[in-house]
Structure 1
Amino acid sequence: MVFRFSEHALALQARIKAFIDDEIVPAVPAYDAEVDAARRAGSAFAVPPTIERLKAKARAAGLWNLFLPASEHGAGLTNLEYAPLCELMGRVPIAAEAFNCSAPDTGNMETLVRYASPAIQQRWLAPLLAGEIRSAFAMTEPEVASSDATNITASIVRDGEHYVLNGRKWYISGASDPRCQVLIFMGKSDPDHPERHRRQSMVVVPVATPGVTIVRDMGVFGYDDAPHGHAEVTFEDVRVPLDHMLLGEGRGFEIAQGRLGPGRIHHCMRLIGKAEMALELMCRRTLARTAFGRALAEQGVWRERIAESRMLIDQARLMVFQAAERMDSVGNKAAAGEIAMIKVIAPNMACRVIDWAIQAHGAAGVSQDTALAHAYASARTLRLADGPDEVHRNAIARLELARYRASQ
């Protein structure tokens, strides 16, 4: 299969790369210093001025909301055309946000574009598209195995002209950010529906609504990921108007499938960017360091790891391109197998390559002096987020077996 990109898409790749090299990479030390200063002052979850300056520059340059497909709001790129841009952004942790292309806002904006009422779009989508606020997606719960989303226990009960929400959610990415003003909440609106995938609904919830409480910030391998964060949030008798329901009662799973497909492409390509960054650091380190009288790069074990890394990265990229092309040509549902495969392949590949890069750096690899430790934590987390490896492998096997059952 040959993957061809339009002149418009190629031009955007060049512009994104130049902006990252010229504007974002030089700004990373200032951004990190601002986060560290805020943390020392006892307020880690403060907005670093550097990211807002970068956002303003990117928007002025027309490098904004590139994730949205054919739409008045975005660049009109296909999933395949957007994928390489995600890879470029994945090389630098703050790059995606600078272009207003970071999760969970991307998935939430796509959801609001597709399913929200005009009034909700005006109130919440417009400022998200402008990068003025941020959002979160409240689905995962601590009391149940959220790998099976039908397990969720949070409730959505109609009461007159309102829905009343109750539940406890955690690892709600972005909820700790002071700019986070709106959540999309998934809960059970019809727990006794005979179809288990029609029991859930999604509702738009302003963070300032009484009963919404940020309980604590959750760590990820010890990282607080400030100022973004991953919070535990409780919802106690939270009342929202009926028009805050997305698409309709019982259609939460339908929304989730439409939301998660593109998001998995984005996650996987950003992971490929992280792996490319790690491989570059590994190569530079092994060329510069000597052990037992030879440069590390001249020793067989490191040549093998470098070669294996290149093969793993390129294999993963081609698989993600194939999944993106399938989504563009036949739709998310028909591409379910390819999407499931890349969601297993990309995080495992990134974990392996980043781990080898850490090993090449010795103690420095696990320190704050390189980006590798945080990159590993992020990659390892994505073997859980958006469905754990085991769920995706089960789906892949089920699809494969179905081919043979049909012929028996």
Structure 2
Amino acid sequence: MTDRGNALLARVDAFMRERIEPQEQAARDELAANTAAGRRWTPLQTIETLKKEAQAEGLWNLFLPESELGAGLTNAEYAPLAERMGHVLWASEVFNCSAPDTGNMEVLARYGTPAQQERWLKLLLAGSIRSAFAMTEPDVASSDATNIATRIERDGDDYVINGRKWWISGAGDPRCAIYIVMGQSNPEAPKHERQSMILVPADTPGVDVVRPLPVFGQDDAPHGHCEMRFTNVRVPAANMLLGEGRGFEIAQGRLGPGRIHHCMRLIGMSERALRLMCERLSSRVAFGKPLATQGVWHERVAQSRLMIEQARLLTLKAAWMMDTVGNKVAKNEIAMIKVVAPNVACQVIDWAIQAHGGAGVSDLTPLAEFYGGARTLRLADGPDEVHRVTIAKNELGRYSPPR
């Protein structure tokens, strides 16, 4: 860690301990009150107040690597900060460092025109609006993005968009003002030049948020993961990102940082779960002795620590490689940690739930929500199987005989 990274980590840690963690229950209570009042999809004022405090203290937009628009941190410097944010599910939003806005801001910063940046990036960086990334579809296997079937067709000075999307994170948030939509613009082009990405304002006629999709029975209000329909949605040709047929190019630039940010937060989530597990084991007595003295729990606690340390080191290696040799060269490390981190988190959280008994699957702890989030991330940004294929091909290629 650099001196700059260490100084920011100390400030983020203090903000988490003194401001965010004491407000976890207040946020739950506010959501419950909003639900009872029929306002479930309303931004939580608990979080909004904390966002103003974080922005006032300069703990804002920490994620943008080496950019004058953010803190200018490297990925390796940002990793421990994101890990600390991962101790509370919604903490990254407080620092304007939450998905999918982070990925969308990176896309606009890297590929947007000055006009697109002026219209949307500035507002996202200020936290005035939120956004969503519309790629996954219900009718095709979206783990192979060449299957994406939504059509983006040129019509004069406009593009017209038709298709269905689902699991669109953030689409349920009333502050969601802009979508980045991926779809086919030229089905006859070479395989990886058929897709484009285009900016679609949320208030455009024909954009329909059909419903929120629950994860293990939770709708994740007021953020939401939604099914959407685009019906003859017409936007100006100037809303195209980078150019027709360059959707895959943009996706690779977007998904590398997005994947590793999730992994960073998962390490923090795993640490929190391990702490809760140890506290529970030390405070509960079963069959005449504390749970912490029973051998099965020694095995699980030790294994949790081993797994977390290994996952953290792999995350830091991937971040360092992204900084030093670029996302493309680091793609194997990014794929590896994208498999490892969610699986480690799922296992550690599962053991923590087991240690808590019935309380572990209730809302008395964050563990049930943690598990839903970690398990979902074995699918989001590419399922485990796709990343394993990447890793295997790379490994086999190292030992293939020369041709």
> What TM bracket, shorter-length normalisation?
over 0.9
- The alpha carbon displacement at 1:335 in A equals 0.6
Give 1:222's aligned residue.
217
Structure 2 Cα separation of the partners of residues 407 and 277 of structure 1: 48
Q: How many residues align?
A: 403
- The alpha carbon displacement at 1:403 in A equals 1.1
- Which of 15, 32, 37 in structure 2 is aligned with 1:41? 37
Give 1:137's aligned residue.
133
Deviation string 1:198-239 (CA, Å, 9 cap, x unpaired) is 100000110000000010011011111111100111000101
Structure 1 Cα separation of the partners of residues 108 and 88 of structure 2: 27
5+ residue gaps, structure 1: none
Deviation string 1:265-297 (CA, Å, 9 cap, x unpaired) is 100010111100000000000000111111111
Paired residues of 2:67 and 2:73 also in contact (CA < 8 A): no
- Which of 353, 362, 368 in structure 2 is aligned with 1:373? 368
Give 2:119's aligned residue.
123
Give 1:24's aligned residue.
20
Structure 2 Cα separation of the partners of residues 355 and 70 of structure 1: 37
Given residue 144 of structure 2, which amino acid in structure 1 is its aligned partner?
D
SS in 2 for 1:237: strand
Give 2:352's aligned residue.
357
- Which of 166, 174, 177 in structure 1 is aligned with 2:173? 177
SS in 2 for 1:59: helix
Give 1:203's aligned residue.
198
Give 1:98's aligned residue.
94
Matches within 5 A, 1:61-76: 61-76=57-72
- The alpha carbon displacement at 1:150 in A equals 0.4
Structure 1 Cα separation of the partners of residues 56 and 111 of structure 2: 29
- The alpha carbon displacement at 1:44 in A equals 1.0
Give 2:312's aligned residue.
317
Query: Is structure 2 residue 200 aligned with structure 1 residue 188?
Result: no
Give 1:304's aligned residue.
299
The TM-score with structure 2 as length reference comes to 0.99
- The alpha carbon displacement at 1:353 in A equals 0.2
Deviation string 1:70-90 (CA, Å, 9 cap, x unpaired) is 222101111111011110000
Deviation string 1:81-132 (CA, Å, 9 cap, x unpaired) is 1011110000011210000000000000000001111111111111100001
- The alpha carbon displacement at 1:31 in A equals 1.4
SS in 1 for 2:72: coil
- Which of 106, 114, 118 in structure 2 is aligned with 1:110? 106
Structure 2 Cα separation of the partners of residues 338 and 63 of structure 1: 28
Query: Is structure 2 residue 228 aligned with structure 1 residue 233?
Result: yes
SS in 2 for 1:233: strand
- The alpha carbon displacement at 1:376 in A equals 0.3
Give 2:395's aligned residue.
400
Give 2:47's aligned residue.
51
- The alpha carbon displacement at 1:407 in A equals 3.7
- The alpha carbon displacement at 1:52 in A equals 1.0
Given residue 155 of structure 1, which amino acid in structure 2 is its aligned partner?
R
Query: Is structure 2 residue 75 aligned with structure 1 residue 79?
Result: yes
5+ residue gaps, structure 2: none
Structure 1 Cα separation of the partners of residues 259 and 208 of structure 2: 29
Structure 2 Cα separation of the partners of residues 334 and 185 of structure 1: 27
- The alpha carbon displacement at 1:25 in A equals 1.0
The TM-score with structure 1 as length reference comes to 0.98
Given residue 284 of structure 1, which amino acid in structure 2 is its aligned partner?
E
Deviation string 1:272-326 (CA, Å, 9 cap, x unpaired) is 1110000000000000011111111100000100000000000000001011111
SS in 2 for 1:259: helix
SS in 2 for 1:141: coil
Paired residues of 2:60 and 2:96 also in contact (CA < 8 A): yes
Query: Is structure 2 residue 349 aligned with structure 1 residue 343?
Result: no
Structure 1 Cα separation of the partners of residues 284 and 372 of structure 2: 25
Give 1:60's aligned residue.
56
SS in 1 for 2:248: helix
Displaced runs of 4+ in structure 1, greater than 6 A? Answer: none
Distance 1:239 1:34, change over 3 A: same
Structure 1 Cα separation of the partners of residues 118 and 228 of structure 2: 26
Structure 1 Cα separation of the partners of residues 355 and 66 of structure 2: 43
Deviation string 1:308-356 (CA, Å, 9 cap, x unpaired) is 0000000000001011111111111111110000000000000000000
SS in 2 for 1:165: strand
Structure 2 Cα separation of the partners of residues 362 and 397 of structure 1: 38
Distance 1:200 1:406, change over 3 A: farther
- The alpha carbon displacement at 1:43 in A equals 2.4
Deviation string 1:106-162 (CA, Å, 9 cap, x unpaired) is 000000001111111111111100001100000000000011010010000000000
Give 1:280's aligned residue.
275
Deviation string 1:30-82 (CA, Å, 9 cap, x unpaired) is 21111111111222110111111111000000000000112221011111110
SS in 2 for 1:93: coil
Query: Is structure 2 residue 332 aligned with structure 1 residue 334?
Result: no
SS in 1 for 2:88: coil
Deviation string 1:150-179 (CA, Å, 9 cap, x unpaired) is 001000000000000011000100000001
Structure 2 Cα separation of the partners of residues 61 and 305 of structure 1: 39
Stretch moving more, 278-287 or 397-406: 397-406
Give 2:290's aligned residue.
295
Query: Is structure 2 residue 6 aligned with structure 1 residue 10?
Result: yes
Given residue 315 of structure 1, which amino acid in structure 2 is its aligned partner?
Q
